[in-house]
Chain A
Amino acid sequence: MPHDDPDHPHALLPPDPALRVKALETILTRKGLVDPAALDAIIDMYQSRIGPRNGAQVVARAWVDADFRARLLSNPMPLLRDLGFYGRQGEHMVVVENTPQTHNMVVCTLCSCYPWPLLGIPPGWYKSDAYRARAVREPRKVLAEFGVELPAGTAVRVWDSTAEIRYLVLPMRPEGTDGLGVDALADLVSRDSMIGTGLPARPEAA
């Protein structure tokens, strides 16, 4: 195969991206290679069923259950499988814990790797050139753009997802949440707090 084809086949498709995807879908459907109902099912899955509420449930449970937390940090896959949070782009999860000493943050500088079964499809900013380029070199400036300022003495550890390992940040439990149950705690856990570009909400602000 030619390694760099100066005349890429994709250029044969219409220039407008919405028409381009329509053209590909039409060709593939006519040849029996794509079932349009399967496309609808995939979209429904990621639009309505698989998203950051999955991750938030896991985080909240780790906050209230010390044994669950220990297993989540040391060997998460059996746990996540049992919860039904296994699947495409989440086959090899590692959960990294924020502490007063270390703040974790996740990026994929080479593409857009992201833990789909726990967080769904990544937001636009996660896939942007600016985030991919800057998160590794100046994470503190990036955090400031998300409104996050870390205490002096907290080191930043940025995880660049260069393999099929997917990372989830376990944020610190906010103060003033002692009486809350798992569901109420999960409501405080934002998507961004599990990527490491945000912090969980405080109970009064939730």
Chain B
Amino acid sequence: MTRVHDMGGRFGDGAIRPEPEDAPVFAEDWHARALAVTLAGGALGQWNIDISRHARERLAPKDYARFSYYEKWLAGLADLLVQQGVLTRDDLADPDAPSGHDPHPLADRALRADAVAATLAKGGPADRDGPAPSFAPGDRVRTRARAENVFVPGGHTRLPAYAQGVTGTVVLVHGCHVLPDSAAHGRGEAPEPLYAVAFGAHDLWQAPEGSGDEVVLDLWESYLERAE
């Protein structure tokens, strides 16, 4: 069983509301602040991208459903700051309280304005040295039967439920990448070969729209087994 964020294929969400190309990048000022404070929080180096994704996924389903996009980011950030020991619950409960612990031990890691451009330009690549790939383009592979983290019950994984237990064809070999199922839980990066795998819409859905239509997912080697 996956979590509430795993919504690919779900019914009931209604129409999409496209926006004009020239709509503001941030619909509200606080959206921009939420994005910026989240990136600045990440720059403290107390978590990786997989931990931060899992923090949002771990919101209570009722919160995940009612929160807007950037509210999820804020909630995930607040939870992580406490979980990783950067802030305390008391800090959150009383933002204006005078702090007795200044300066914070991580203060020298704070992202400074003059370092923003270089930090964003540097990025955070996920490719690593690792084992040679077992599969090649054209190989038929089947995904694991359940889209679940095999290390931690309810843990982070990037295999969506709609693609569990399905057979597809490798189309790209991306090299070795950090395994989110491991890295999200402090178990190390455990890099594995990563593949783009194409699945026929007719293998994924009860009522596919087009006979030649496909969905391609990026999947780690341990999500896959060879299929004939």
Contact = CB atoms under 8 A, between A and B. Distances in A.
A and B interact: yes
A162 B219 CA distance: 7
A29 B63 CA distance: 27
A110 B219 CA distance: 13
B227 interface: no
B36 A39 contact: yes
Interface in B154-184: 154-155, 158-160, 162-163, 172, 174, 177-178, 180
B115 interface: yes
Contacts, number: 320
A155 interface: yes
Contacts of A24: 37, 74, 77-78, 81, 92, 95
A3 B172 CA distance: 34
Interface in B35-53: 35-37, 39-41, 44, 49, 53
Interface string A132-161: 111011111110011000000001111111
Nearest to A24: B37
A12 B92 contact: yes
Interface stretch (A64-72, A81-89, A176-184): A81-89
B33 interface: yes
Contacts of A165: 174, 194, 196, 218
A21 B154 contact: no
B174 A163 contact: yes
A35 to B, nearest CB: 5
Interface of A: 1, 3-6, 8-10, 12-13, 17-18, 20-28, 30-35, 37-43, 45-47, 50-52, 84, 86-92, 94, 107, 109-112, 120-121, 123-125, 127-134, 136-142, 145-146, 155-165, 190-192, 197
A102 to B, nearest CB: 8
Given A46-B25, A137-B205, A34 B41 contact: yes
A43 B8 contact: no
Nearest to B101: A31
24 contacts: A5-B79, A6-B60, A8-B79, A10-B78, A13-B95, A17-B68, A31-B91, A33-B106, A34-B111, A87-B120, A87-B122, A88-B120, A91-B126, A109-B160, A111-B53, A111-B56, A121-B35, A125-B17, A132-B7, A137-B205, A140-B209, A146-B16, A155-B213, A192-B18
Cβ-closest 4 pairs across A and B: A109-B8, A32-B107, A155-B212, A163-B218
